[in-house]
Structure 1
């Protein structure tokens, strides 16, 4: 019975967590309906709430925003908006920092997480997965002698938090695995080995 119980947990726990995350995301995105006038909201028109409608509205707003800012007029308006924000104390530093990070992560020409690396951290003889994010720049680079790289060391099982390090390039070993496979390895705390992840991807592609 213990064996069957554990098997059931292995099946239901990932499913339950996935559903919980989706519910949290959709519920948060549904709050965008508050942007509509009260008389235009679903509960006023049909008498009840429609789950997921806010998520669709959020996706539509993002899509339309991207569409409008692709032309000359849209880019001009965005330029004016950013110029105004850059003249507001505190807001300018927060906005510019967040924009630089988002441009790096989401831009098709960005180099965020371009390679999976193996480095010694937090001490010599202890190895962990890291991701190449670029090279040190600005005044920082002037104080570093030699060829250095910038890396991100994620925590597990939550890779959205981690540590930013600048290390000598010679101290990093480039891994022959994709960034996605390396992330799965980190998130699973080493349970899902790279070979297993690669095989799962191949099976998925075949199906």
Structure 2
């Protein structure tokens, strides 16, 4: 016998639909926002230099959807491709040295450079995934060792551990004793980050039935 229609069932249908549509909508919205931002870099840059060339009869910036995106991505790929050449490397080193020594600019530049290098390239920092006992109790947090020697700060046998926040791009940095840090050996750093940022709801594949987090002192 079919159950009578109630507001409770209506709410259930709404939540089920929201559960299906929300991740899809947010994903496409994010992709569209990133596409629009990148696609607008080139027209906005040209307009700031030569306004009349990029304006239509109404004074709006002329845009050909997709062209700016393709050109910007192509430029990034080109820079990445030629970055291994000796001449290009030397040019970048000179330019890098100038920015690193320029008052005011060096703080912003060095901070952004270290931030991007932490996620990509040969100097990636978030690769050493660990369990960190930050509060000196039996509660452990998923984190990543970013510096394994803190003697410059006056701490011997201490490490710097970055703890990501759930559902956020932010996180906190803690300086704690090495004895309160245990390596995660059964899952990758990327899986650990995904698990932490998702608030623990993401399923972590357990290899051969072993415990997800295996740690040793």
Tell me the TM-score range normalised by the shorter chain: 0.7 to 0.9
Cα distance change of structure 1 residues 88 and 16 upon mapping to structure 2, 3 Å threshold: same
Deviation of the 1:178 alpha carbon = 1.6
Q: Which structure shows the bigger proportion of residues in helix conformation?
A: 1
Equivalent position to 2:125, from 112, 129, 151: 112
Mapped contact 2:136–2:180 kept (Cα < 8 A): no
Runs of 4+ displaced beyond 4 Å: 36-41
Cα distance change of structure 1 residues 122 and 27 upon mapping to structure 2, 3 Å threshold: farther
Mapped contact 2:150–2:159 kept (Cα < 8 A): no
Partner of residue 192, structure 1: 202
Question: Which 5+ residue runs of structure 2 have no aligned equivalent?
Answer: 1-8, 209-217
CA distance in 2: counterparts of 1:20 and 1:123, whole angstroms = 42
**Residue 97 of structure 1 pairs with residue 133 of structure 2:** no
**Residue 129 of structure 1 pairs with residue 142 of structure 2:** yes
**Residue 163 of structure 1 pairs with residue 166 of structure 2:** no
Question: Which 5+ residue runs of structure 1 have no aligned equivalent?
Answer: 199-207
Q: Say what the alpha-carbon RMSD is for the aligned residues.
A: 2.9
Deviation of the 1:169 alpha carbon = 1.7
CA distance in 2: counterparts of 1:11 and 1:106, whole angstroms = 32
**3-state SS in 1 of match to 2:119:** helix
Any idea what the Cα deviations from partners look like across 1:28-59, whole Å, max 9, x if unmatched?
10122223467886x89xxx744333222211
Any idea what the Cα deviations from partners look like across 1:161-180, whole Å, max 9, x if unmatched?
11111211221222222222
For normalisation by structure 1, the TM-score amounts to 0.76
CA distance in 2: counterparts of 1:56 and 1:122, whole angstroms = 48
Equivalent position to 1:148, from 158, 161, 165: 158
Partner of residue 139, structure 1: 152
Mapped contact 1:111–1:134 kept (Cα < 8 A): no
CA radius of gyration, larger in: 2
CA distance in 1: counterparts of 2:69 and 2:117, whole angstroms = 23
Cα distance change of structure 1 residues 164 and 184 upon mapping to structure 2, 3 Å threshold: same
CA distance in 2: counterparts of 1:172 and 1:137, whole angstroms = 14
CA distance in 1: counterparts of 2:81 and 2:124, whole angstroms = 24
Equivalent position to 1:60, from 74, 79, 102: 74
For normalisation by structure 2, the TM-score amounts to 0.73
Deviation of the 1:105 alpha carbon = 2.9
Mapped contact 1:32–1:57 kept (Cα < 8 A): no
